[in-house]
Amino acid sequence: MPKVGMEPLRRKALIDATVSAIGARGSLDVTMSEIAGRAGVSSALAHHYFGAKDELLQATMRHLLAELNWDTRQALAAAQSARERVSAVIAVNFSENQFQPETIAAWLAFYVEAQKSAALRRLLRVYARRLHSNLMSGLAGLLPRPTADQAAEAIAALIDGLYIRRALRNGTPNATGAIAIVEDYVEAKLGTAAPATIRNRLSGDQS
Amino acid sequence: MPKVGMEPLRRKALIDATVSAIGARGSLDVTMSEIAGRAGVSSALAHHYFGAKDELLQATMRHLLAELNWDTRQALAAAQSARERVSAVIAVNFSENQFQPETIAAWLAFYVEAQKSAALRRLLRVYARRLHSNLMSGLAGLLPRPTADQAAEAIAALIDGLYIRRALRNGTPNATGAIAIVEDYVEAKLGTAAPATIRNRLSGDQS
DNA sequence: TTTTTTATTGACTGATCAATCAACAAAAAA
DNA sequence: TTTTTTGTTGATTGATCAGTCAATAAAAAA
């Protein structure tokens, strides 16, 4: 079997296997054998390409982050207004690609692991900063500065909160419901602080 | 040393030690020795009183839940109006007792572990249901039914989200800031759907 | 006093797992 | 063809831990 040029393929397969293993187990303490098995290789190979388990986990998280970033850039590019940019960022986080049980479990697990690992903590901070700045790229045009900043913080917290609750299959099950909650917040926020013409652009209101 | 009547004391000490060990390690994979050490006893004793590690973790979570519930009941009893009930529930979740790094780390870790353990999942569902119904005890008097339900969902997600972000020491550091964000949401929500007299009761608005 | 109950531990066992390594095999280069 | 590089694994090692158990000792009951 040994063909040349396997490395990138194996790396990709191992990273994908890591996400699915974490998703299946629901936590980060998956074994290297489990991951390697899912990728169809031996655990020794996983060590060969990634060294320590830690590095595989970091690479996996970087991959998740890169995918989210890619999706976000696509969505932002298609947005035509500040208001649409906000919705685009929200929508991406609950899109098919992102709002998958496997992916959610992985994010959650990484959040916990980040308390132990400085490297993962750094990566999560990158995520938080990006999310904030992506949200601000829309909000800055809709609300005065300090208010916009707080709104971005709230939206970010909402997104994280809805993720964590989804992991438990508590209320707020589907992506549609989650988006509705966040969009409703945005509307409420714009309704109290911005000209009325901006209100009620997307969904029907309930006043 | 063996005095009679040690059991309840040891149980309490072990549960406290579990919270602090989880807080220190930042994850649920603390060893029984670590926990027992913090409680000043041998790991064999921890097994003696709790059987398996799993049961100690469940007991710990039940304890956290009971404390939160107690604090919430106190706060609700002191509230004089529907609006105050909402604020009371919010305030409790960010109070000295609850919004502690140790406690936050424990909650987060339990969320992850709940994906593996049916027992922990059940406990977290109890928490979610209680939070929702406590919030509704105030919101039901301020907003029409379906809107109130969605608002409770959003507030719960906000609280969970702010917890998770606090764990990383991302933005939103202090409890005050967190409360401000949630209260601001409530105000915005009431502002669009309820009579104006209800608005701006607690904090200054920014319109 | 003797016996039983309660509290407590050190030492041990068995299982799990990350990480290593020597070995093998196919392809590419010489 | 021979040599080197690249890909791959089974077997092994060493560490870590949950859980068990026999033993000890103080207190309470008989």
Residue A89 confidence (pLDDT) above 90:
yes
Residue B170 confidence (pLDDT) above 90:
no
pLDDT of residue A171: 54
Chain A residues within 8 A of B112 when measuring between CB atoms = 26-28, 108-109, 112
pLDDT over 90, % of chain A: 81
Residue B98 confidence (pLDDT) above 70:
yes
- Non-local CB neighbours of A172 within 8 Å, separated by 6+ positions: A162, A165, A166, A178, A181, B153, B157
Contact status, residue B40 vs residue B27, Cβ threshold 8 Å: no
A43 CA to D4 C1', in Å?
26
pLDDT of residue B204: 38
pLDDT tens digits along B121-135 = 999 999 999 999 999
Nearest CA in chain A to B147: A206
Higher pLDDT, B115 or B51: B51
pLDDT tens digits along B61-79 = 999 999 999 999 999 999 9
Separation between Cα atoms, residue B20 and residue B27, nearest integer Å? 11
Residue B196 confidence (pLDDT) above 60:
no
Q: What domains appear along chain B, each with residue ranges and CATH number?
A: 61-198 (1.10.357.10)
B101 touches chain A (CB under 8 A): no
A119 touches chain B (CB under 8 A): no
Higher pLDDT, A193 or A187: A187
Residue A192 confidence (pLDDT) above 80:
no
Whether B181 and A157 lie within 8 Å, measured CB to CB: yes
Whether B116 and A185 lie within 8 Å, measured CB to CB: no
Average pLDDT over residues A126-143: 97
Q: Which nucleotides of C are covered by protein (CB under 7 A)?
A: 6-11, 16-22, 25-28
Q: State chain B's mean pLDDT as an integer.
A: 90
Task: Report which listed range, A113-117, B41-45, B193-197, is most confident.
Answer: B41-45
Residue B198 confidence (pLDDT) above 90:
no
B31 CA to D8 C1', in Å?
36
Higher pLDDT, B198 or B192: B192
pLDDT of residue A167: 85
Distance set, CA A24 to CA A18, A166, B79, B115 (Å): 10, 15, 44, 9
Provide Rg for chain A, Cα atoms. Answer: 19
Nearest CA in chain A to B117: A26
Of A80-84, B80-84, B98-102, the poorest mean pLDDT is in B98-102
Measured between CB atoms, which of A29, A109, A111 is closest to B164? A111
Separation between Cα atoms, residue A131 and residue A111, nearest integer Å? 15
Separation between Cα atoms, residue B198 and residue B83, nearest integer Å? 9
Strand spans (E) along chain A: none
Distance from CA of B135 to the nearest CA of A (A): 15
Separation between Cα atoms, residue A147 and residue B187, nearest integer Å? 13
Tell me which residues of chain A, numbers 22 to 41, contact chain B at a CB-CB cutoff of 8 Å. 25-29
Distance from CA of A135 to the nearest CA of B (A): 14
Average pLDDT over residues A35-60: 98
Average pLDDT over residues A60-86: 98
Tell me which residues of chain A, numbers 38 to 97, contact chain B at a CB-CB cutoff of 8 Å. none
pLDDT tens digits along B11-23 = 999 999 999 999 9
Average pLDDT over residues B18-29: 92
Write phi, then psi, for A164 (nearest 5 degrees). Answer: -60, -35
Separation between Cα atoms, residue A26 and residue B116, nearest integer Å? 6
Average pLDDT over residues B42-47: 98
pLDDT of residue B63: 98
Banded pLDDT at A200 (limits 50, 70, 90): very low
Nearest CA in chain B to A128: B170
